Structure formats: C-alpha cells, structure tokens
Amino acid sequence: MTEPSTPPKEVLRPGLLAGTTGLVTGAGSGIGRAVSLRLAALGMAVHGTGRREEALAGTATLAEGLAGSFAYTPCNVRETDAVTALVEQVAANGLDLLVNNAGGQFFAPAAEISQKGWNTVVDLNLNAIFAVTRAAYPHLKARRGAVVSMSLSGVDRGGMGFAHSIAARAGVLGMTRSLALEWARDGIRLNCIGPGTVVTEGLAGEAAREILDRLVAATPMGEPTPVEEVAELVAYLASPAGRLMTGQLIQIDGAAHLGPGLHLIAS
C-alpha cells in the first residue's frame, strides 16, 4: 500500500463553528470519532452516540481541552423510539448539524445474505437514518442547519459483496436529494460523503487485511483516505462556506469511483 503523499491538512479557521451544536452517530470510533473531535476543535458543542459507552468515553477523553465540547449518550440507532427520543433531548436547545455516520455491514455474496441479514443492514444504513433525520427536522429548520450522511464510494454504480449496504445507501442518497428539495426553503442542506477506503478499526484488523489490500489496489490514486480529511470535509459542509451546497454526493476516494470498482468478492 502506498503511504499518503501529503500529511492531512486542517484548512478551516479556529473558532469557525463556535456557538453551534451537532449530533454525530457512531462517534466512539473511526470516522465518527475523528469528525466529532474536529468539530469540537472548531468550537462546536458535539453530542455523540453509538452502542458502546466505553468507546464514546474514549472520544470524550480525547476531546478534553478543545475549544468546543463533546458529550455523549449510548444508543442503538436501530431502536427507533430510543434514538428519536435522544434526538429530541439533544436538540432541545438547538441543532445546527446532524452527522449520520453510524453504519456498516458484513461482506457476502448476495445469494448468501439471509433475509434477516439484509433487513439488519438496511435498518442500520437506511431506516435509522430516516428516523434520526426526520426527528431532527424541526430543530434543523429553526437553525437553518445541515445534515451530512456517510455513504460509500461508488454507491451509484454498485459493487460486489455488499449489495445490502449499497442498496441502503443508494436509498439514503435518494432521500438526501429529495429532502434537499423539500427542505430547501427551510434553509436545511443535506449532503452525502462517499469515502473510498478509510483505515479505521472496521478495516484495520488482521482479518480485514485482504479486504483492505483489495480496496486500495482498486483505488487509482493508490492510497486510502485519511480519516482527518473526511472530518475536514464534514466541518466544511457545516460551515457558512457550504451554505449553497446541497443534494450532493461528494466522493473523497482517490478516484475509486472511476476505477474498476470496489468489490469485496471476485466476479
């Protein structure tokens, strides 16, 4: 694997997000942790959720001393009533940003995905996102806020070995574009980010090595996407500079979406 050619760059000015509030799902690890820390560094009061309390506590420890803050409440986003109640609680004093980051899947040929497996992945990567986004709507409207949903590179072209996840995230992209229209007059912007390959705990283990090598080999620029660069993009979309950006799928993937495709099984 080629090492990143340049170190990650923080390009946004300190204090940019001071006085704003955000909710990040999946904030205890990987991309969600990096996003939470960058938003807090820029001054945002961030509230994180995820199932594992100790993971969220780890993010809170790393956020100590930043300009903003990080608080957390453990929650399973697949439990619609619980996560809707959490949104109400977190947004009670205003909400400027929702980051739908919690997600994931197992990799398997479609013919080997059971109905329960399909439903589980669609619940996590599509249905939960609708529930959280709908609950956040009145609060985002009051602040003319933004939604960023973590998607996949190549979501609009398909890939082998994760049909359930691609189908769910294509649904999120359709939802994003539809709500970008429905909520435009409310000043709410919704965008999807499609990271290519990001070396987080989900992909870093020994067992995932073959998958990681396969994904990087299919990336024309030959390197994974640094997690900090995904975080910087989320912060940009939350900032006034992103004021007119909505309904987009922004693929930050070293041209992976133009290459041979990200496939987790052989054809």
Choice between 16 and 230, CB closer to ligand TC6: 230
Binding-residue total with ligand TC6 (CB under 6 A): 15
Q: Does 249 bind ligand TC6 (CB under 6 A)?
A: no
Q: Does 30 bind ligand NDP (CB under 6 A)?
A: yes
Binding site partner of 120, from ligand NDP, ligand TC6, none, Cβ cut-off 5-8 A by kind: ligand TC6
Window 149 to 188, contacts with ligand NDP (CB under 6 A) = 150, 152
Residue 148 tokens read as 């960023």
Q: Does 148 bind ligand TC6 (CB under 6 A)?
A: no
Q: Does 207 bind ligand TC6 (CB under 6 A)?
A: no
Choice between 106 and 217, CB closer to ligand TC6: 106
Choice between 28 and 226, CB closer to ligand NDP: 28
Q: Does 147 bind ligand TC6 (CB under 6 A)?
A: no
Choice between 74 and 187, CB closer to ligand TC6: 74
Q: Does 108 bind ligand TC6 (CB under 6 A)?
A: yes
Q: Which residues bind ligand NDP (CB under 6 A)?
A: 25-26, 28-32, 50-52, 55, 76-78, 101-104, 124, 150, 152, 195, 197-198, 200-203
